[in-house]
Structure 1
Amino acid sequence: MATAAVESGLLSDKSRSVGGNGCCAHKNGPGYATPIEAMSGPKESLIYVTCVYNGTGKQKPDYLATIDLDPNSPTYSKVIHRLPMPYVSDELHHSGWNSCSSCHGDPSAVRRFLVLPSLLSSRIYVIDTEKNPRAPQLHKVVKPADIEQKTGLAFPHTSHCLASGEIMVSCLGDKDGNAAGNGFLLLDSEFNVKGRWEKPGHSPAFGYDFWYQPRHKTMISSSWGAPCAFRGGFNLQHVSDGLYGRHLNVYSWPDGELKQTLDLGDTGLLPLETRFLHDPSKDTGFVGSALSSNMVRFFKTSEGSWDHEVVISVQPLKVKNWILPEMPGLITDFLISLDDRYLYFVNWLHGDVRQYNIEDPKKPV
């Protein structure tokens, strides 16, 4: 699956000098004070998309594509640049920025570098988008050996910037592909390996995505599976063998202590993308369970613990000549509109994108 990051054109020479380029350039640092303020910002004029060759039989390096989103440009909707990685067999997956709205209020922070974890090779590429936003350049490669030596982690997946200027990356296992070695990697602002984020002995059973909500002092992560299982292609038997997850992990933020594990059961097999509502005062969010094809809402209870419920179910399709008589939708990525009104998710196998009104998060329509 390719992922994308957005970048707007330069607002002005002044905005670039005080906060870098893009829609997140301000004298108060990157990002916006509120989600609603972000909605009133300038539209993006560029998008960066990771493109992979894994599984195609072609021994070519993955690349980062730059696509023109300016409707007034002669190259609108076209790929205007491709940046190949220096190695093959990486499988670029998710992407993230070195700084974002978490750093709003810090005028020294600049949203400049795109962080590209490589799921299979365990490399992490750092891409400079400031020198030439239309043709970004490779800035640094965080080497797998350095990550493994200092943390024991491998198979990096999701990266998020922190208010401290650090980068946090979920890693799905150890170098041998065992899920028991998974956890969260910390890089400093210069992209040097600092160590693990979670406290010793507080690693989850499986790793994948994560999202933190500082006002509720909570981080929630999801559970895909063991790298030794998924790197060879999906095998349904591995689910029964216990090599894939069905839990959400609730951590204290920023302490890194595993406080609670939510078992989603058979209605929450392979929970992947995890999103809190954008309103930082809200104590609710969603996770898409891929194999069960359910959207699960998680929320804080009146007692202060966390609970979950299925709020959207995608019905399977009857098929022939497939691994099962019925094909699930396989919910993969999803996003929530900045005003928290709509949720959009991808039914990867069914081939459609669905929109739901979530103004009442308990009853999406």
Structure 2
Amino acid sequence: MNLRPDPTFHATPKLAMEAPAETLAFTLMLSPDGSQPDGLAVVDVDPSSMSYGQIVHQLIMPHTGDEFHHFGWNACSSALSPLTGHAFLERRYLIIPGIRSSRIYVIDVKEPRAPKIHKVIEPEEVFAKTGYSRPHTIHCGPEGIYVSTLGGGGPDGTDGPPGIFIMDCETFEIRGRYEMDRGRQNKHYDFWWNLPRDYMVSSEWGLPPQYENGIVAEDLLSNKYGHSIHFWKLRERRNVQTIDLGENHQMALEVRPAHDPGKDYGFVGVVVDTTNLQGAIFTWWRRDDGTFEAKKTITIDPQPADAADLPDLLKGFGAVPPLVTDIDLSLDDRFLYVSCWGTGEMLQYDVSDPMAPKLAGKVEIGGIVKKTPHPNGKVFGYGPQMVEISRDGKRVYWTNSLYSTWDDQFYPGEGGGAMVMAHVGPNGGLTLDEDFFVAFPKGYRSHQIRLEGGDCSTDSFCYPSV
């Protein structure tokens, strides 16, 4: 334990933006066929370094079949909450769940260029203590480490709904389920919160049989994937409201509240509208009476394409849907980044007015039909996927793999893992860095990124910026 708060913890988003720039990134490596163990890559992101844009260390796990997906820190700026007893933690450990195995790794990055395994939590412990399976998203909160899951109990994960469980942020023991009253929530995906206002927002993807072996076309066309967001009284662990975005808005995924807790709104991305193949972003907000509303504020059109250029799943549509698979919000709450994994676009929206976003920048790279190469000429397989933003908002990083079976469905053949970075102009706009292109080892794909010292999809703040 530190004798004073970790210097990477910041009371406000503005203070975090003024912190030193990141020099390292931690990126997940996954073996899509399970023939190799998954791993953690340490990437040099310091432009003054001789190894800039290179993997400087790999930590390979002892087991196969984990499928790493999303991961997060043991502690972050939320530890500065006046309600916590954990103000003197370190941002020292990465919590990495295996979405297929339900195994969880605790990785010590005290020596960031030489991380090591601190603890392994076996799936049997997860099942026994929570009744959940398929751990997915990690958030560090005032009361511990929160872990969302995508499966309930039983072999296929459908014995009861998935949900959230809590781990101790010092011992990493599993404490138990989060929910006291889940209301209408019966699927799960992402979650995040506004700490001072004491509410949480969660979203929905689908149950394990709907995603583990690829998208189930019949379920998609029948609108059987998730299409609601849920609002919770955070400390009471109680669902207070559910908003159905419309059953045609299939797969409500990433939840991004405003970073400044003085603001009472946020965004959620929808993968596809089954009536027109559009991608969509909804803005949600809290009313004066404490209830919530949501409105569609961004639509992204599909692109016409010849059936011969499309994977089997899309041939009958004659178009490529954007497939909005990730979104991320800069710490100043100004720019929202939207990954269009299908069309091969990273879009940047000015959301200074959250009810009237304006397109401010765009990068084309990869894509099902366009297959746009990187400016350095290298092939970028698949499309823009997991996106991460530097604290100062000047650099945007992203990788290209969604989920192994979905990669194979939408992009037949091996595309390889890659990570790129774009510079952000003072008033918006994106320009890919020609010298930054990380190609991952053969047989590995790349997924989520965490930046040294924190980033824009990790930290939650307790005090409003001045």
Determine if the TM-score, normalized by the shorter chain, exceeds 0.5: yes
Letter in 2 for 1:362: M
**Residue 177 of structure 1, CA deviation:** 2.2
**Aligned twin of 1:181:** 161
1:148-297 aligned within 5 A = 148-164=127-143, 166-174=144-152, 175=154, 176-178=156-158, 180-189=160-169, 190-200=171-181, 202=183, 204-241=185-222, 243-266=224-247, 268-292=249-273, 293-297=279-283
CA–CA distance in structure 2, aligned partners of residues 351 and 36 of structure 1:
32
Deviation at 1:330, TM superposition (A): 0.8
Query: CA–CA distance in 1 between the matches of 2:350 and 2:56?
Result: 35
Q: C-alpha separation between the residues in 1 aligned to 2:87 and 2:222?
A: 50
Shift of 1:239: 2.3
Q: Secondary structure at the match of 2:35?
A: coil
Which deviates more, 173-182 or 93-102?
173-182
Counterpart in the other structure of 2:349: 356
Distance 1:254 1:118 in 2: 27
Alignment match, 1:302: 288
Q: What amino acid is the match of 2:299?
A: S
Helix, strand or coil at the partner of 1:149: helix
RMSD: 1.9
CA distance in 2, matches of 1:194, 1:17: 23
Equivalent residue number for residue 13 of structure 1: none
Unmatched runs of 5 consecutive residues or more in structure 2? 274-278, 359-466
Query: Whole-Å Cα distance in 2 between the matches of residues 306 and 178 of structure 1?
Result: 29
Question: Could you tell me how far apart the structure 2 residues matched to 1:267 and 1:325 are?
Answer: 19
Deviation at 1:243, TM superposition (A): 4.2
Partner of 2:95: 115
1:80 and 2:31 correspond? no
Report the residue type matching 1:274 in the other structure: V
Q: Secondary structure at the match of 2:272?
A: coil
Write the letter of the residue equivalent to 1:186: I
Three-state SS of the structure 1 residue aligned to 2:63 is coil
Aligned mates of 2:197, 2:122 — CA distance in 1: 34
Deviations 1:159-216 (A, max 9, x none): 111113x111011112422174301111112111110011155472110000011222
Is 2:21 the counterpart of 1:40? no
Between 40-49 and 251-260, the greater mean CA deviation after superposition: 251-260
TM-score by length of 2: 0.70
Residue in structure 2 matched with residue 69 of structure 1 by the alignment: 45
Number of the residue aligned with 2:435 = none
The CA deviation string for residues 104-144 of structure 1, in whole angstroms up to 9 with x for no partner, is 275521100001111111111111000x2112111111111
Structure 1 residues 298, 17: closer, same or farther in 2, change over 3 A?
closer
What residue number does 2:80 align with? Answer: 104
Distance across 2 between alignment mates of 1:241 and 1:118: 29
TM-score (normalised: structure 1): 0.88
Structure 1 unaligned blocks of 5 or more: 1-15
**C-alpha distance in structure 1 between counterparts of 2:102 and 2:255, whole Å:** 22
Identity of aligned residues (%): 36
Query: For 2:182 and 2:353, how far apart are their aligned partners in 1?
Result: 37
Write the letter of the residue equivalent to 1:221. S
Name the SS for the 1:234 alignment partner: coil
- C-alpha deviation, 1:224, in angstroms: 0.3
C-alpha distance in 1 between matches for 2:248 and 2:13: 31
Residue 240 of structure 1: how far off its partner (Å): 4.1
> Once the two structures are superposed, what CA deviation does each residue of 1:71-115 show, in whole Å capped at 9, x if it has no partner?
221111100111111111111111110000001275521100001
CA distance in 2, matches of 1:227, 1:49: 24
Taking a change above 3 Å as real, the CA distance of residues 343 and 200 of structure 1, as seen in their structure-2 partners, is closer
Task: Give 3-state SS (helix, strand or coil) of 1:181's partner.
Answer: coil
- Shift of the 19–134 alpha-carbon distance from structure 1 to 2, 3 Å rule, reads farther
Maintained 8 Å contact 1:172/1:179: no
Q: How many residues align?
A: 339
Higher relative contact order at CA 8 Å, sep ≥6: structure 1 or structure 2?
Answer: 2
Shift of 1:53: 1.5
